[in-house]
Chain A
Amino acid sequence: GESVGLHLPTLSVQEGDNSIINCAYSNSASDYFIWYKQESGKGPQFIIDIRSNMDKRQGQRVTVLLNKTVKHLSLQIAATQPGDSAVYFCAENSGGSNYKLTFGKGTLLTVNP
């Protein structure tokens, strides 16, 4: 079946730098693309979502970009902080429903002080 995948399994950045986490998706029918953050030993936490009719959405220190032409999603974190160290998952709503999500395998972001 269709699935969401990630380009890089690990990413290491210096504190204060910007981080970019990438994701490839294959389900053209998905309406929403979502980013979750999972800190060690905790459950995933919603960061931001973007609807399929948008190219860009900004939150607090985060920006999600959606390129439907190449089926690519990215999460940009500005001025990365040690507290941003976590695994980041992209997800998409399966089959267009609001509630069934398909998750990617995750990218581990490590922020070096």
Chain B
Amino acid sequence: NAGVTQTPKFRVLKTGQSMTLLCAQDMNHEYMYWYRQDPGMGLRLIHYSVGEGTTAKGEVPDGYNVSRLKKQNFLLGLESAAPSQTSVYFCASSYSTGSVEQYFGPGTRLTVT
């Protein structure tokens, strides 16, 4: 199993540009998450999904949109990138019941200039 994979690994955007980050998992997990991690800070939840076709806002959802059209994929979109969105983005997935263990991808480093 590949686990959780993220595409791309690195990206540089100019202010106002848009992009989509792709997350894929092959563990048949129901739940998927997007976090951002900034220097000296822990992970903050952006959006999450408890199943195919469902999404919900996390702690810091502004400026981001998500979609979960297929169970194995969770997309994070930035419609108009801002320098404040410079961060490392992590995707994670987990089983729906019985465990709080989340499986994380390797991260995407995004720089907005």
Size category of the binding interface on chain B: 20 to 34
Contact B104 A44 (CB under 8 A): yes
Contact A49 B101 (CB under 8 A): yes
Known: A43-B105, A43-B106, A43-B107. A49 touches B100 (CB 8 A): yes
Q: Chain B contacts of A42 at CB under 8 A?
A: 106-107
Q: What distance in Å separates the Cβ of B29 from its nearest Cβ neighbour in chain A? A: 10
| Of B40, B58, B104, the contact of A100 (CB 8 Å cutoff) | B58
How far, in angstroms, from A42 to B108 measured CA to CA in the complex? 10
Q: Chain B contacts of A103 at CB under 8 A?
A: 42-44
Q: What distance in Å separates the Cβ of A90 from its nearest Cβ neighbour in chain B? A: 9
Contact B44 A101 (CB under 8 A): no
Q: What distance in Å separates the Cβ of B69 from its nearest Cβ neighbour in chain A? A: 20
> Residue of A at shortest CB range from B49?
A99
Contact surface of B with A, Cβ cutoff 8 Å = 4, 31, 33, 40-45, 48, 50, 58-59, 90, 92, 94, 96-107
Contact surface of A with B, Cβ cutoff 8 Å = 4, 9, 32, 34, 41-46, 49, 89, 91, 93, 98-106
